[in-house]
Amino acid sequence: MFVLRKMVQGRAYTVHLDARSETEAEAELALFMRDPEGYSTKREARQR
Indicate if the pLDDT at residue 48 is higher than 90: no
Bridge-based pairing of strands 2-8 and 11-17 is antiparallel
Spatial separation of the C-alpha atoms in residues 31 and 27, rounded to whole Å:
6
What is the model's pLDDT at position 46? 87
Domain boundaries, the chain: 2-47
Indicate if the pLDDT at residue 1 is higher than 90: no
Name 6's bridge partners.
13
**Secondary structure tally for the chain: helices H, strands E:** 2, 2
Spatial separation of the C-alpha atoms in residues 43 and 9, rounded to whole Å:
26
Written as one letter, the residue type at 43 is R
Spatial separation of the C-alpha atoms in residues 25 and 9, rounded to whole Å:
22
pLDDT one-digit tens code per residue, 3-43: 999 999 999 999 999 899 999 999 999 999 999 999 998 88
